[in-house]
C-alpha cells in the first residue's frame, strides 16, 4: 500500500536532486498525514485551550483523538501521553524533570550510554554541572549494552537511567525489557529515547518496564515540531515541569498546542501501527538487497550488529577511502555520515568511536537509511553508484595501493611533517 | 461552527498565503536542516529566509532571532535562561504578566531568587515611580509585557527599558500581543530580550521566537543537537518557521490597515456599548482612556457573569473570550483586572472582544444587537431567580 505512494522529490534526477536515503535524519511527511493536518490549518484553527466556543472544542477533540493514536502505538493509556515540541524537548523534560523531582529521595547519580543521541547526552551533562554524577556506559563493539555491566553500574544513589531504544546511527535495538527489569528491581527511574523506534519495533508499555519514553513525529512520517513524552501512571512517575505557564498538559508542559501538528502525529502513528508489519518486511528485503550488493565491494565493514537491528538502517565503513571525498563523490544519494544533528561538524562519529572503530573507519562511514518510499530500483541505483565511486576513489588512494601490495598499514611508521 | 470570530488575541486563522508557503514543506520537501546534503541545505536556506522576515517585522537583526516552539517557551527561556547567569538574584515583574512569564519566575524562588511585583494603575499602566524606587536596590532582570492580552493596554517599554538600563539590569518584554498590531522596533525598545509568536499573526501554531541582544549571557532551556547556535536544540519545525516568516512579512504589509480598520470596529463597538450603558445597563470598559491595541475591547456588564454571557453569545454565533484562553479553564476572575483594582464582582462580568482585519462593521452591529438581546434575557432570568 505504502510503496504505491510516490514522492518524486525523493527520487534521483541529477546530482542536484539526489535520491533520499536519510530516513533516520528525518522522514518526509506521508501525504495521508498532510491531508489530515491541512483542515486544522485552515477551517479548524481554534486554540484547544479555548473552552468557550466550538473553535476550541474542535481543536481539543482532534488533540485527544491524536493522543489516543499515539498511546495505541506504544501500548499506553492516552492519559500517559504529554505533548512536546519534539524528542529533544521530551528527552530534556524526562531527564531533567525526573532527576530534579527524585534527587532528594533517590540520589544524584545517573546512568546513560555513550552512544546516546546528543539530546540525551547534553541534558545529562547539564545535570552534571548542577552537581549530579553521571556514568556513560560504553557499549560492546556490536553496539549493544552488556546487561551485567549495566547492573554493575547501578549505585545506591542512582536516580535515573536513560537508554535509547534504537540507535540513530547504527540502528541497533537495545534489550529495553531486561534493562527495565534491572531498573525496577533497584528502584531506578528508567527513561527510553524511542525517537528512532516507533513504527520500526513493537512497543508495548503495558508490559515493558519503562517509566518515561520520548517519542518523535518526524522520524515516523509525521511533521517536525511535535513529539510526546510517555509518563507512566501505574506505578506513578513524577516529573518536574520544565516549561511553565497556562498549565497545559496537566501542568507538565505549558504552551499553546499546535493542533495541526498533533493531528499529524496521531495520523502518522495510526499508519505506523497499521502498516508496520508489512512495511518492515518490505524494508528488510530492500536492506538485505542493499547489503548484499555493497558486500561485493572489498574491505567494507558493517557498523553495529545486524541481528538486533531495525531493518531501516545500514551503516557501513568503506576502508581505504577518505571520508570527506567519499561524501563529495556520492552526491547522487542523500545520506548521512555520522548523525545528522551533528553532521555540520567534521568530527568522526562519537558513536562509532565508542564502538572501538578507528578514526579512519569512522570517517569513511555512511549511514544508509531507507524507508516507506524507497524502491528496489533506488537500492539498485545506490549499489551501482557505490561500486563505481568507491572503485574510483580507491584508484586514487595510495593507501589502497599499499593494501593491495599486502602492506599492513597499521604497522607503518609515518614521518611527521 | 461559529459565524463570527471575535477572539483574535487568543489565536488567529492561518492566512492562505502563509499556508501556500508552508505546504511544500509538508507535502514535498524532506530534509533535516542540519543535514549537509541538498535536502538539508534547502531546508536550512528556508529557515534563514524566515529568520530575516521575522527580524524585519520587529526591527531586529536576523542574528538576534532564536526560533522556539511557542511564546510560552520563549518566555520560559528568557526568564529562566537569563536568570541562570545573573549576579543579582532579584527579578521584577508587573502584576499583569501572562502566566507563562509569572510561573517560570515563581520557580526561581526555589533557587534563592527574590521575585517582586511592580503594580499597575486602574488603567493597567505600570507604576513607573514604584519601579524607580525598586530599582534603587540592585536587580537582575525586569519583565514587563508590551501589550496586555486581556485589556490590550500598551506599556511605554522604551521608557521602562531606559530606567532598567540605567539601573544596570536586564529587561525582557513579552510582545506576543504587539506583533502585527503596532510597530515594533526591538533595537530601539531598550530591551535585551523580546518574545513574539506566530499564531497571533495568522501564522501557524508551533513557531515563535525570542529576540535576543547577543551580549546577554543566556542558558538554554533545551540541550541537545545544538541548533539555533546552541541556544535551542531540537530539529527545526521548518513548515511552521517558514509560515511564521511569511506571516510576519504579511503582518508588516498589513499593519497600517490593521490599525485603522480594527480601531474603527472597536470604536463602533464601544460607541454601541456606551449607548447601552446610557439606557438601562451598566457597562464598564477597562483601560478605555489609556493607550491600547487598536483591536481589543475588554468590558464588563454589571450583574452578569462573563462566562454565562460568552456561552450565550457563542450559541448566537459569536466567538469571544471571558479571560485569556490559556487560563480559561479556571473560573477565577481575571488576575489582570484584580491587579488594576477592579472589584471581583465586576471582574467576573468581563468579556473580551478582539478583532481581526476580516471582521466587518456589519458584524459589529450584529454583535451589538445580539449582545443587547442576551443581556436583557439574562437580566430577566436573574430577576426571576432572585
Is the same domain home to B36 and B153? yes
Interface contact A3, partner B, CB < 8 A: no
A231 pairs with which residues across the strands?
A212
Beta strands in A4-154 (DSSP E): 19-20, 81-84, 109-113, 133-137
Q: Contact, B274 vs B371, CB < 8 A?
A: no
Question: Which of B209, B233, B250 is the last residue before a domain boundary?
Answer: B250
Q: Say if the Cβ atoms of B234 and A85 lie within 8 Å.
A: yes
pLDDT, tens digit, for every residue of A86-115? Answer: 999 999 999 999 999 999 999 999 999 999
CA distance A363 to A347: 8
CATH of the domain at B272: 3.90.1150.10
Q: Are residues B40 and B183 in the same domain?
A: yes
Q: What is the CATH number of the domain that holds B90?
A: 3.40.640.10
Residues of chain B with Cβ-Cβ distance to A343 below 8 Å are 34-36
In chain B, what residues touch A83 (CB-CB under 8 Å)? none
Which residues 317-346 in chain A show a CB within 8 A of chain B? Answer: 327, 334-336, 340-344
| 3-class DSSP state of B364 | helix
Please report the pLDDT score of residue B385 as a whole number.
Answer: 66
pLDDT interval class at A46 (50, 70, 90): low
Question: Which segments within A76-118 are labelled E, that is strand?
Answer: 81-84, 109-113
Residues with Cβ within 8 Å of residue B135, at least 6 apart in sequence: B92, B142, B163, B164, B166, B167, B169
CB contact under 8 A, A246 and B327: yes
Domain shared by B145 and B37, yes or no: yes
ipTM summary value: 0.84
Closest residue of A to B308, CA-based? A52
**Smallest CA–CA distance from B104 into chain A, residue:** A244
Which chain B residue shows the shortest CA-CA distance from A36?
A: B26
Interface of A with B in 122-161 (CB under 8 A): 122-123, 125-126
Q: Any residues with CB less than 8 A from the CB of B103 and at least 6 apart, and which?
A: A244, A245, A254
Note whether B70 and B192 are same-domain residues: yes
* B233 and B275 inside one domain: no
Distance CA B192, CA B165 (A): 9
Q: Which three three-digit cell numbers place residue B73?
A: 517557551
pLDDT above 80: residue A193: yes
Residue in chain B nearest A127 by alpha carbon: B223
A280, three cell numbers: 518492515
How big is chain A by its Cα radius of gyration, in Å? Answer: 22
Q: Domain range for residue B36?
A: 16-250
- Average pLDDT of the residues in A222-239: 96
Same domain, B25 and B97: yes
Q: In this structure, are B102 and B219 located in the same domain? A: yes
Active-site option among A341, A346, A396, A407: A341
Residue A246 and residue B106: Cβ atoms within 8 Å?
A: no
CB contact under 8 A, A344 and B34: yes
Do the Cβ atoms of A246 and B73 come within 8 Å?
no
Per the CB < 8 Å rule, is B71 touching A255? yes
- Looking at the fold, whether B220 and B140 belong to one and the same domain comes out as yes
Statement to judge: residues B157 and B276 lie in one domain: no
Residues B83 and B128 reside in one and the same domain: yes
In this structure, the answer to whether residues B151 and B175 fall within a common structural domain is: yes
Write the residue in A49, A54, A226 that is nearest to B326 by C-beta.
A49
- Report residue B326's pLDDT band, with 50, 70 and 90 as the boundaries: very low
Q: What's the sign of the alpha-carbon dihedral B327, B328, B329, B331? A: positive
Question: Predicted confidence band at A54 (pLDDT cuts at 50, 70, 90)?
Answer: low
Residues in CB range of B225: below 8 A, 6 or more apart: A88, A117, A118, A119, A341, A342, B34, B233, B234, B235
Helix (H, G, I), strand (E, B) or coil at A336: strand
Which band of pLDDT confidence, cut at 50, 70 and 90, is reported for residue A1?
very low
- Judged on CB neighbours under 10 Å (0-12, 13-18, 19+), A277 is exposed
Q: Which of these three, B250, B282, B317, is where a domain ends? A: B250
Whether B207 and B347 map to the same domain: the answer is no
Selecting from B1, B7, B26 the residue whose C-beta is nearest the C-beta of A34 gives B26
Q: Is the pLDDT of residue A339 over 70?
A: no
Instruction: Give B62 to chain A, closest Cα distance, Å.
Output: 20
Active site residues of B: 326
Over the stretch A358-396, which tens digit does the pLDDT of each residue have?
888 888 899 999 999 999 999 999 999 999 999 999 998
Total number of domains in chain B: 2
> Could you say which of B2, B206, B324 has the minimum Cβ distance to residue A53?
B2
Cis peptide before A235 (omega within 30 of 0): yes
Domain termination residue (choose one: B218, B250, B282):
B250
Q: Do B225 and A88 touch (CB under 8 A)?
A: yes
Find, in chain B, the residue whose alpha carbon is nearest to that of A125.
B223
A242 contacts A92 by C-beta, under 8 angstroms: yes
pLDDT of residue A44: 67
Amino acid at each position: 500500500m505504502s510503496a504505491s505512494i510516490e514522492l518524486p522529490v525523493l527520487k534521483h534526477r541529477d546530482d542536484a536532486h539526489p535520491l533520499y536515503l536519510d530516513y533516520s535524519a528525518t522522514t518526509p511527511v506521508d501525504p495521508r498525514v498532510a491531508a489530515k493536518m491541512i483542515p486544522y490549518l485552515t477551517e479548524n484553527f481554534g486554540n484547544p485551550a479555548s473552552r468557550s466556543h466550538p473553535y476550541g472544542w474542535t481543536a481539543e477533540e482532534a488533540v485527544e483523538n491524536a493522543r489516543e493514536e499515539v498511546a495505541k502505538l506504544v501500548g499506553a493509556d492516552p492519559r500517559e501521553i504529554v505533548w512536546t515540541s519534539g524528542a529533544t524537548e521530551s528527552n530534556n523534560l524526562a531527564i531533567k524533570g525526573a532527576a530534579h523531582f527524585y534527587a532528594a529521595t533517590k540520589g544524584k547519580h545517573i546512568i546513560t550510554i555513550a552512544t546516546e543521541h546528543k539530546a540525551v547526552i547534553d541534558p545529562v551533562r547539564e545535570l552534571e554541572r548542577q552537581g549530579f554524577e553521571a556514568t556513560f556506559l560504553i557499549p560492546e563493539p556490536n553496539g549493544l549494552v552488556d546487561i551485567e555491566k549495566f547492573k554493575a553500574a547501578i549505585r545506591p544513589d542512582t536516580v535515573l537511567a536513560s537508554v535509547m531504544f534504537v540507535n540513530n546511527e547504527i540502528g541497533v535495538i537495545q534489550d529495553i525489557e531486561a534493562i527495565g527489569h534491572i531498573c525496577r528491581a533497584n528502584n531506578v527511574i528508567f527513561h527510553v529515547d524511542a525517537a528512532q523506534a516507533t513504527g520500526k519495533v513493537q512497543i508495548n508499555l503495558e508490559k515493558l518496564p519503562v517509566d518515561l519514553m520520548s517519542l518523535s513525529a518526524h522520524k515516523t512520517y509525521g511533521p517536525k515540531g511535535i513529539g510526546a513524552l510517555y509518563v507512566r501512571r501505574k506505578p506513578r512517575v513524577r516529573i518536574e515541569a520544565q516549561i511553565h505557564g497556562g498549565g497545559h498538559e496537566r501542568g507538565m508542559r505549558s504552551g499553546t498546542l499546535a493542533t495541526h501538528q498533533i493531528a499529524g502525529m496521531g495520523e502518522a502513528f495510526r499508519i505506523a501501527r497499521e502498516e508496520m508489519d508489512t512495511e518492515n518486511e518490505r524494508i528488510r528485503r530492500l536492506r538485505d538487497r542493499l547489503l548484499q550488493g555493497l558486500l561485493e565491494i572489498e574491505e567494507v565493514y558493517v557498523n553495529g550488529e545486524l541481528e538486533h537491528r531495525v531493518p531501516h538502517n545500514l551503516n557501513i565503513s568503506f576502508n581505504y577511502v577518505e571520508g570527506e571525498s567519499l561524501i563529495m563523490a556520492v552526491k547522487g544519494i542523500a545520506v548521512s555520515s555520522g548523525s545528522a544533528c551533528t553532521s555540520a561538524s567534521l568530527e568522526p562519529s562519537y558513536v562509532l568511536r565508542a564502538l572501538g572503530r578507528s578514526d579512519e573507519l569512522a570517517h569513511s562511514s555512511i549511514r544508509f537509511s531507507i524507508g516507506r518510499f524507497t524502491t528496489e530500483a533506488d537500492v539498485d541505483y545506490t549499489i551501482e553508484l557505490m561500486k563505481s565511486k568507491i572503485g574510483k576513489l580507491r584508484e586514487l588512494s595510495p593507501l589502497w595501493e599499499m593494501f593491495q601490495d599486502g602492506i599492513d598499514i597499521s604497522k607503518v611508521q609515518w614521518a611527521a611533517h | 461552527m461559529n459565524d463570527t470570530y471575535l477572539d483574535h488575541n487568543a489565536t488567529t486563522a492561518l492566512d492562505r498565503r502563509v499556508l501556500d508557503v508552508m505546504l511544500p514543506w509538508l507535502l514535498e520537501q524532506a530534509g533535516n536542516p542540519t543535514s549537509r546534503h541538498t535536502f538539508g541545505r534547502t531546508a536550512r536556506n528556508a529557515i534563514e529566509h524566515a529568520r530575516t522576515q521575522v527580524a524585519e517585522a520587529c526591527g531586529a537583526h536576523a542574528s538576534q532571532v532564536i526560533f522556539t516552539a511557542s511564546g510560552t517557551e520563549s518566555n520560559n527561556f528568557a526568564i529562566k535562561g537569563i536568570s541562570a547567569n545573573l549576579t543579582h538574584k532579584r527579578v521584577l515583574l508587573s502584576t499583569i504578566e501572562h502566566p507563562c512569564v509569572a510561573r517560570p519566575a515563581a520557580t526561581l524562588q526555589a533557587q534563592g531568587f527574590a521575585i517582586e511585583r511592580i503594580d499597575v494603575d486602574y488603567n493597567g499602566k505600570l507604576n513607573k515611580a514604584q519601579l524607580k524606587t525598586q530599582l534603587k536596590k540592585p536587580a537582575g532582570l525586569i519583565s514587563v509585557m508590551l501589550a496586555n492580552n486581556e485589556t490590550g493596554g500598551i506599556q511605554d517599554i522604551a521608557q521602562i527599558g531606559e530606567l532598567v538600563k540605567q539601573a544596570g539590569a536586564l529587561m525582557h518584554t513579552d510582545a506576543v500581543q504587539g506583533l502585527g498590531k503596532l510597530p515594533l522596533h526591538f533595537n530601539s525598545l531598550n530591551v535585551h530580550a523580546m518574545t513574539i509568536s506566530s499564531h497571533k499573526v495568522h501564522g501557524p501554531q508551533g513557531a515563535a521566537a525570542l529576540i535576543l541582544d547577543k551580549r546577554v549571557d543566556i542558558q538554554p532551556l533545551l540541550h541537545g543537537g545544538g541548533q539555533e547556535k546552541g541556544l535551542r536544540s531540537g530539529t527545526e519545525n521548518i513548515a511552521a518557521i517558514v509560515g511564521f516568516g511569511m506571516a510576519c512579512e504579511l503582518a508588516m504589509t498589513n499593519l497600517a490597515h490593521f490599525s485603522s480598520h480594527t480601531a474603527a470596529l472597536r470604536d463602533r463597538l464601544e460607541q454601541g456599548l456606551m449607548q447601552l450603558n446610557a439606557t438601562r445597563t451598566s457597562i464598564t470598559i477597562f483601560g478605555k482612556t489609556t493607550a491600547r491595541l487598536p483591536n481589543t475591547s475588554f468590558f464588563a456588564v454589571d450583574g452578569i457573569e462573563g462566562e454565562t454571557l460568552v456561552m450565550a453569545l457563542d450559541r448566537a454565533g459569536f466567538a469571544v473570550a471571558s479571560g485569556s484562553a490559556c487560563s480559561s479553564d479556571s473560573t477565577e476572575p481575571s488576575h489582570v483586572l484584580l491587579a488594576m483594582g477592579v472589584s471581583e464582582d465586576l471582574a467576573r462580568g468581563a468579556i473580551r472582544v478582539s478583532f481581526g482585519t476580516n471582521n466587518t462593521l456589519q458584524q459589529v452591529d450584529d454583535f451589538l444587537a445580539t449582545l443587547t438581546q442576551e443581556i436583557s434575557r439574562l437580566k430577566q432570568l436573574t430577576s426571576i431567580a432572585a
